[in-house]
Amino acid sequence: MKVIEVHQSVYAINDEIAEETRRQLKESKTFMVNLMASPGAGKTSTLLKTIEALKADYKIGVMEADIDATVDAEIMAKAGVGSIQVHTGGECAMDAEMTAQAIEEFQATQYDILFMENVGNLVCPAETDTGASRNVAILSIPEGDDKPLKYPLMFQVCQAVLINKIDTREYFDFDDAAVVERIHDLNPDAKVFFISAKTGEGFEEWIQWLTGCIDSWNA
């Protein structure tokens, strides 16, 4: 099998801005989750179920990053949380500078939890530190269990991976053990949760992990 390696581009290093964002958020006790996934993996519906579980105890804000449209921010506003739509001007992911701009505009340090729903994409968002407290990826059953092989960086940069749409399992060939092994080969410390944003299955463990992280962040 012949493999061609074509040129590698240079990504702007924005780690300094990301570190400054993280410092600010820690100071204001704002826990920021950078939620990443393919288009259609269920970021918005997972977020809605997550908000439902947390909104009694936390003040929650959501930044919806998209190339275009405002559908997701409208959904979040209806869910009763603060929300803002960020248009990336064609960019395939939020970077630290864009995130910092959005945080300022949104006055996001007023929130206990700030969710950022990144652009639907398994490649670009993984490449850029946004300044989030935690990175979380969603992979859905219909996408297939081979995705960690094809998009390794995404699974390396996340502290948790949510395997979503487990309610559709019987419809697709998806090997649970294989996906966990592939994720742990790339990132032994990653937490993997099997969930259904439709039925709510598996959310208890995910929410428990998340609130544990928030407690450490604010300690």
Q: Whole-number minimum distance, CB 208 to its own copies, in Å? A: 27
The residue written with tokens 């964002």 in the block is 21
Q: Which stretch binds its own copies (CB under 8 A): 94-102, 109-117, 128-136, 210-218?
A: 94-102
Give me the residues paired with residue 34 across strands: 116, 135
Task: Choose which of 31, 111, 115, 151 interacts with its own copies (CB under 8 A).
Answer: 151
Q: Whole-number minimum distance, CB 52 to its own copies, in Å? A: 19
Q: Is 66 in the site for its own copies (CB under 8 A)?
A: yes
d(CA 79, CA 44): 11
Q: Whole-number minimum distance, CB 207 to its own copies, in Å? A: 24
Residue 178, token pair as written in the block: 């294989």
DSSP characters for 114-142? Answer: EEEE--S-SSHHHH-----SEEEEEEEGG
Q: Is 130 in the site for its own copies (CB under 8 A)?
A: no
Residue 52, token pair as written in the block: 């439902």
| Between 142 and 209, CB nearer to its own copies | 142
**CA dihedral defined by 217, 114, 165, 70, rounded to 10 degrees?**
-170
d(CA 45, CA 17): 30
Q: Is 40 in the site for its own copies (CB under 8 A)?
A: yes
d(CA 205, CA 60): 20
Q: Could you tell me if residue 80 is left (phi over 0), alpha (psi between -120 and 50 degrees) or otherwise beta?
A: left
Task: Choose which of 53, 123, 180, 192 interacts with its own copies (CB under 8 A).
Answer: 123
Q: Is 79 in the site for its own copies (CB under 8 A)?
A: no
| Between 51 and 124, CB nearer to its own copies | 124
Q: Is 120 in the site for its own copies (CB under 8 A)?
A: yes
List of residues contacting its own copies (CB under 8 A): 1-9, 11, 38-40, 66-71, 73-74, 77, 84-92, 97-98, 101-102, 105-106, 119-124, 127, 140, 142-144, 146-147, 149-153, 165, 168, 171-172
